[in-house]
Each structure stands twice: as structure tokens, then as C-alpha cells.
Amino acid sequence: MLDLDKTNFEEEVLKADGYVFVDFYGDGCVPCQALMPKVHEFAETYGDKMKFTSLNTTKARRLAISQKILGLPVMAIYKGGEKIDEVVKDDATPESIEAMIQKYI
């Protein structure tokens, strides 16, 4: 998992080739913390087929807002500089996250 911030988001996500998974999380987000081990497991399992990254929205609030992240957790897939899919808030379960990943690998 590559940690993102305002200095590398554009290069690592928006200008990247292929599909990029972004885990938008916050320090105080309990559901985010609960999902994190599973997301890391997905990164290990599917990391050869898709880039896996994470962005701490607590530290990059303006960047998160620019990406229309208005609540947490959000797991998104980008391609060609655009967000093409996402799983948000209560819909963010290990099963729904893996199903989204499976559509793009």
C-alpha cells in the first residue's frame, strides 16, 4: 500500500497507468480502522493486477474534498485520472470492496 498525500496524489493516482485503488480513511474513523486489515490483505492478493494506495483524509482534508469525499469510509477505483467506481460508508464491507476490485482485475 502506497501512502498518498497532496504531494504525490496527482502522480500516483490521476496520472497513473491502469487501475488505482484508493482507500480514503480518517484517524478517528472506527469503520475505516476496522476495514484496514482486510484492505491490506486485498493489496497483497491483488497488488500485481492493480495499484493499491491509501489517503489519510485527516491530514489531507482539502484533497479529499476535491475528490468529493464527503464521508468515510470510501474505497475508490481510478483510471485515466477519473474516479470510475466507489464503495462508500455503510456499503463498505469486505465483500463489497472485493466485488468492486474483481470488476477491474
CATH number for position 75: 3.40.30.10
> Is 6 a domain residue?
yes
Q: Could you say which of 32, 64, 74, 101 is catalytic?
A: 32
pLDDT digits (tens, 9 = 90+) for 21-71: 999 999 999 999 999 999 999 999 999 999 999 999 999 999 999 999 999
Question: Is 101 an annotated catalytic residue?
Answer: no
pLDDT at 103: 98
Would you call 32 a catalytic residue per the annotation?
Answer: yes
The overall average pLDDT reported for the chain is 97
The answer to whether position 101 is within a domain reads no
Domain that holds residue 18: 2-95
pLDDT > 70: percent of the chain: 100
Q: Report the half-sphere exposure of 56 (CA within 13 A, side-chain side).
A: 9
Peptide bond into 37 cis (omega under 30): no
**76 band by pLDDT with thresholds 50, 70 and 90:** very high
105: in domain:
no
Number of domains in the chain: 1
Could you say which of 13, 20, 22, 29 is catalytic? 29
23 in a structural domain: yes
Q: Quick check: is 102 in a domain?
A: no
- 100 in a structural domain: no
For residue 57, is it within any domain?
yes
The pairing of strands 51-56 and 20-25 is parallel
